[in-house]
Chains A and B, each alone.
Chain A
């Protein structure tokens, strides 16, 4: 049980250097049985456990993580948060997430370094700017902040872009969400783990789920590398391994696992003060607090569970960066890495009941897992506690393809590679 973090605690530790900080979360052995077992100790799994305990009073919960906390996609994303979605369902869900982000550091008593520096999406032709105006109108009607910028306004905010006549993709304008920004992703994992642990949730690391114990269509427990753990309900939140884990329960899902790469350059002085996204190709860039430019693009384009990216994608993304911001050509790429994402046919996620009575599914996050973390945990906890979806995640049901209720946000599921 770790103590409250505060300015006084900092001062106390500064004056008493020998006083060690307590572990942020407990490391218990698994109990034989829990009310709810969450499979996957990533951002979504930990957030779910936290909101189960906080909002629904379900505290006899275990989060089972195959590796260590923060080892998966919660530590591999590009840390962006935004709620500039247009399709009904997504709009309200991601705005709920944004509101939770805004109060998260206080809620968790952990500094998540939420930085609402604004996201600017550049239009590279007049038609695109028209579609941005439409998207902005939809956002504003839903109470979300959106501003349309013309070329002159963009030049003031982002003076370092290529505005020359030779620019391959001229900047016509942009849509901006001032409340969007970045969050320190590791802190999100640690903050949720600590807050959940303080509420009585058992976080069990280095424990791999190897199978489900079934009684007909009911899950009664999970087999793990540390023995059998019985449970009243089980929830899957394992991102790229969603198909793999669901298969243990006999489920076949509308999911393919793909790799998305991310990149960071050597650190430079502050120059990019916003999150900048590009309309010519899927490309987004921000500058970290350490000074490195952090950016990413499309998935590699074929399904894989390896976290090794292929070189052609690195080349494409670097070309995007240089085309948009010519000064980037002078920088060296410091690191690049890959994360495995569960891509769905319509590019939208699942937070849902499953055909099995007490097994729940959170997955299919495609490109948008990190920014959804708080709302995902919040609604998934509701779904598990009440055995029913919340209004905010009803549209993310597993059976939406059967019912013709696809949520086709920009069509950026894996389908784009099959056309």
Chain B
């Protein structure tokens, strides 16, 4: 919960995403509950009928259709012209959003470090599978920085460089950040939002905005172990690292009990909100290994396959 004092941040791809992990991530691909229209030909099945080898449907021939797609076998049997329709394979847009506010740089291990690594790993999975990958860091001034339209394994280093360049700090308005992300993105696809979702203004408006354009949104709530099990003792003056708000407490068993009840209620309200809007929520502790996070937690949720 306390601010992270160890500020050793990853500087290279290797530090961010060890090659051993990379090797384990290679077989994975992104999965979406929805099928989206893509922009470029990719490895993903598209809603569009297209030119892949995968048969989709028949329809009656109308004048102007490409006669190459006429199913001659049907014509021979029925004496009627039908067109064979094939599924189009397109790429998928993956948008990774991480919370780079000062509050995410708290906890041991740091929530931000976890988000950084997890986002990098997911971005890697996206790039390897020829998806269009974009990443945005919410931070000081709503959107601190972003990178977009990365495609192909070659761009892994670009993504890693950007990821390493993100420096957590300051505060932001989630609603504003979500609005800007929503306005700036193109197409549709999967959006992964890494944050603790502790926004004093509320998470509702922001999440609504992110969902608004039809993205398949996965919210990953990262909590530090100290937030889940506070290890505070005595008379304390708690200072919010973002807005410098003070809260004086005297730690006691009933107070801790009440805090935990509040935390559980908050997480539950977030989960309910997401469920109502067809978003998925995964609450994870920052001391969870990245490998098990992706290979176990995300796979179980169907984010990767």
Say whether A and B bind each other: no
